[in-house]
Amino acid sequence: MTVKAIMPERLLSGRAAGSRGHRHAHPGDRELEFGRSGAVAPLSDRPDDVDSTSGRRSPATPATRGSRTSTTATRTTTTRTGAVGPAPSADDPAAPTAAFSFEDLVAAYFDCRRTKRNKPSALAFEASLERNLVALHDELVDGSYRPGPSICFVVTRPKAREVWAAAFRDRIVHHLLYNRIAPGIERTFIADSCACIRGRGTLYAAQRLEAKVRSVSANWSRPAYYLKCDLANFFVSIDKCILWSLLAPRIAEPWWRDLAALVLFHDPRPGVELRSRREVLARVPTHKQLRHQAPELGLPIGNLSSQFFANVYLDALDRFVKHDLRVRHYIRYVDDFVLLHESPAQLNAWLAAIAVFLPSTLHVVLNTSKTILQPVARGVDFVGHVIRPWRRSIRRRTLNAGLARVRELHDDELYQSINSYFGLLRQSPASHHERARLANLARQRGFSVARDLTKAYRRSGDAR
């Protein structure tokens, strides 16, 4: 079988294919040495990394430097069939060719490790970085790539919740897939769809909702009402077959469509490594545990791919609300969404229509215990912000939990935690009193605080 693909330059028979020098792979990273047996082309400069939790830019057109078209090679590979057709494979002469370069994979690696640099899995991968990236590239090109086992643990704040962490090399593939297909798909989302989209985090959602509240209430001069809804057990209730029917038509390139199917339909439960004690795992209700769902249901919370797939899934809800119900003031953050109107009767009519649409179309239901309909003058609690007449503040429960955490934290984590809460409070225009409380607590722990109460300074002797 013959495969022709864009491959990284290698050293053949222990001799360099070309001279290599020292080059910075990324601002702030150590230099990577090339020119020895097994080395690959220099890693691309990445001066404009974007936090993966909030989205990232689409990679630029791959540079030709450091990559070439390989000579024809022969491989013998055994492939397995995925849940929806075969995975990308070079065994089938009609199979689509891998449509990415080695530089694209390196870009995905830098995106992936941005907030995971000191994690054991990231350090283990980086210990043999060039070899691991080349091996992953080859598996993707020849179709032998399969996701590995995941790690499952439970976080207890603000409530007990399962988190599934894919292997580090699998997370690189998630970023590679996201970088390629997400920009085009996200452009089709409505402007009021938030979360895991670059520039549309919690602050964007809070500010946009505040503008909508001011619009519907004519700057608080007339009464208005809001309907806030939440989906019950959303991530473990997602039907993968329905999701695939929504996702597949939006991916034009066959190879990327096959890779998306491989990632989506991968079952992370076989071989999972449980990192939490049994009594901690038991704190998550059974109906909210992915381990107890049918194979075709549920996405693992904790993967970039799951967050992106969830937005694709609920884009159907956004279109129904905006285009069919013709709701003017609407915003959604993951599975929480808010509708605004002058009439509570109209909001109740929309609620009834949504309650029929969700189970019939997406096989999810509303959480009736979290459905709220009340005047906006009482305050709209959304994404950690509370919007009241003429002011927006941070949720009191969030502030109290943060202050309690700062009192208890060990000195090693204190500096980062204090400034993290200062950053959160800076998002709120009406937070001077709350920032003063945090500043007083920081001073008690030995920190100096900026005069405008926006940040704390390192103490002498603190490790950087």
pLDDT in tens, 49-71: 444 334 444 444 444 333 333 33
* The token pair that represents 105 in the structure block: 């994979």
Residue 39: phi and psi, rounded to 5, are: -75, 160
Rg (CA), the chain: 25
- Choose among 48, 41, 52: nearest CA to 137: 41
In contact, 206 and 383? CB cutoff 8 Å:
yes
Instruction: State the average pLDDT over residues 226-243.
Output: 96
What is the spatial distance between Cα 20 and Cα 33, in angstroms, rounded to a whole number?
8
Going by pLDDT thresholds of 50, 70 and 90, the confidence category of residue 21 is very low
Measured in whole angstroms, the distance separating CA 36 from the mean position of its chain's CA atoms is 37
Model pTM above 0.85:
no
User: Per residue in 171-195, pLDDT tens?
Assistant: 999 999 999 999 999 999 999 999 8
- The per-residue pLDDT for 56 is 42
CA atoms within 13 A on the CB side of 460: 0
Least confident of 97-101, 146-150, 423-427: 97-101
CA angle 227, 229, 389 (to 5 degrees): 40
Contact call for residues 263 and 177 (beta carbons, < 8 A): yes
Do 299 and 238 touch, CB atoms closer than 8 A?
yes
pLDDT in tens, 298-339: 999 989 999 999 999 999 999 999 999 999 999 999 999 999
Residues 6+ positions from 127 with CB-CB distance below 8 Å: none
